[in-house]
Amino acid sequence: MERTACIDVGTNTALLLVADLDPVTGRIVPVEHRQTIIRLGQSVDEGRVICREAIDRLVACMSEYAELCRSLGVGEVVAAGTSALRDASNRDEVIGEVLRGTGIGLRCISGTEEAELTFFGAVAGMPEVPEPFTVIDIGGGSTEVITGTADAVARSVSIDIGSVRLTERFLTGMPPAPGEFEAAREEIDRLLSANLASFSTPKQEVFGVAGTLTTIAQVCMGEKRFDPEKVQGYRLGKDQVDRLLERLSSMQLHEVVGLGVPEGRADVILMGTLILHRFMLMLGIERVTVSIQGLRFGMAQKKLVELPYFRQTRNTRPPDASLVKKR
């Protein structure tokens, strides 16, 4: 086996997966998960620059992850930056500081690549996934919607609506003023309508990944703390999302934290929930299956199929069903 670390540097959080990659069976065997709220996208929507404080938070987080990886005997660390890094005019400076400060090479990936890796990562290891299926990833800076089969992506889109971006753009406090909430809703509807016209999902299985979805699931389950085993595979109903949105829209920040939402996510969870609500309403989706996987697992899959032994044997020794798929 080859032990690899995959890091997803998003607009709000930095997520780490340490996994053993077994090219004989095609399995991804998780060893360690970590999540750190870094708010890299602080003010990026307005100024297109990652600020000094956010860079420092990122470097501190990546230093911690690098030390953990060394202690776990990781052979290679791969790291991908998404929406905030894509939008920032000083992305090269940020990448350079991370490399100098931690030794980790951070790569800025396109929205298309993010969508594809997230799509396959979301269902990695799940048996008998019904096809075709759709994946939605609501991030801090963007939302990706992808549909296809376990063999190939049929269509994907990356939309510039995310929980941090919309919070900074429209809200001045919690609870929001009615006009602020309506302005955000109108913007979400406008961009979803413009980008999802070719998607048809009512009869498809829809999977939801990333912190917004897992946090919504946690709260709807009545859990004060995140339990990945309980959240993984949770069937989140539209009626639950509707009720949660109504509650959040009238709550103050400390009340949201009281629901079990982490402080670094509590101020943006309303906008993330609103995006999910409008997505489900617009496409007639009654339930979303929550996956704690996503981009990190997609990165691990990509690394797995690149391993020499797997490349040599994949035509004669197929991996476990749906763990590693041809793209």
Torsions phi, psi for 124 (to 5 deg): -55, 125
Q: Is the pLDDT score of 323 beyond 60?
A: no
Using the 8-state DSSP alphabet, how is residue 289 labeled?
A: E
- Res 308: pLDDT: 61
Burial category of 142 from C-beta neighbours within 10 Å (exposed 0-12, middle 13-18, buried 19 and up): buried
Residue 202: phi, psi to the nearest 5?
-55, -35
Which residue from 111, 118, 122, 125 is spatially nearest to 21, judged by alpha carbons?
Answer: 125
At 305, the pLDDT band (50, 70, 90 cuts) reads confident
Find all residues with CB under 8 Å of 273, minimum gap 6, and list them. Answer: 212, 216, 241, 244, 245, 248
What is the residue type of 44? V
Q: pLDDT over 70 for what percent of the chain?
A: 92
CA separation for the pair 196, 170 (Å, rounded) = 23
- Give me the mean pLDDT over the 113-119 stretch: 91
| Three-state DSSP state, 119 | helix
Mean pLDDT across the chain, nearest whole number?
89
Mean pLDDT in residue range 151-159: 90
Q: Are 148 and 141 in contact (CB under 8 A)?
A: no
Looking at residue 25, its pLDDT comes to 81
pLDDT at 60: 97
Cis amide bond preceding 130, omega within 30 = no
With beta carbons less than 8 A apart as the criterion, state whether 141 and 91 touch: no
Highest mean pLDDT among 57-61, 140-144, 199-203, 208-212: 57-61
What pLDDT is recorded for position 45?
83
Side-chain-side CA neighbours of residue 203 (13 Å): 2
* Domains of the chain: residue spans and CATH: 2-111+295-313 (3.30.420.40), 125-290 (3.30.420.150)
pTM for the model: 0.85
Rounded to whole angstroms, what are the CA distances from 191 to 48, 68, 137? 20, 40, 15
- Sorting pLDDT into bands at 50, 70 and 90, what band is 130? confident
pLDDT over 90 at 255, yes or no:
yes
Please write the tens of the pLDDT for every residue from 60-98: 999 999 999 999 999 999 999 998 999 999 999 999 999
Instruction: Output the DSSP codes for 65-113.
Output: HHHHHHHTT-SEEEEEE-HHHHH-TTHHHHHHHHHHHHS--EEE--HHH
14-49 pLDDT, tens per residue?
999 999 998 888 889 999 999 999 999 888 888 899
Q: Which residue has the higher pLDDT, 25 or 8?
A: 8
pLDDT digits (tens, 9 = 90+) for 274-286: 999 999 999 999 9
> What pLDDT is attached to residue 325?
37
Output 197 or 53, whichever has higher pLDDT. Answer: 53
Q: What is the pLDDT of residue 40?
A: 93
The tokens of 201 are what? Answer: 């999902």
Distance CA 61, CA 46 (A): 24
Q: How far is CA 178 from CA 56, 85, 212, 268, 319, in A?
A: 36, 32, 22, 16, 52
Give CA–CA dist 94/298, Å, rounded: 24
pLDDT of 266: 95
Identify the H or E element spanning 148: strand 143-148
**CA distances for 254 relative to 33, 167, 195, 219, 257, angstroms:** 27, 17, 35, 15, 5
Rounded to the nearest 5 degrees, what angle is found at the Cα of 82, between the Cα atoms of 258 and 23? Answer: 100
CB 81 within 8 A of CB 7: no
Structure tokens that stand for 242 in this block: 């509707």
pLDDT of residue 327: 31
Q: How confident is the model at residue 318 (pLDDT cuts 50, 70, 90)?
A: very low
Q: What is the pLDDT of residue 126?
A: 80
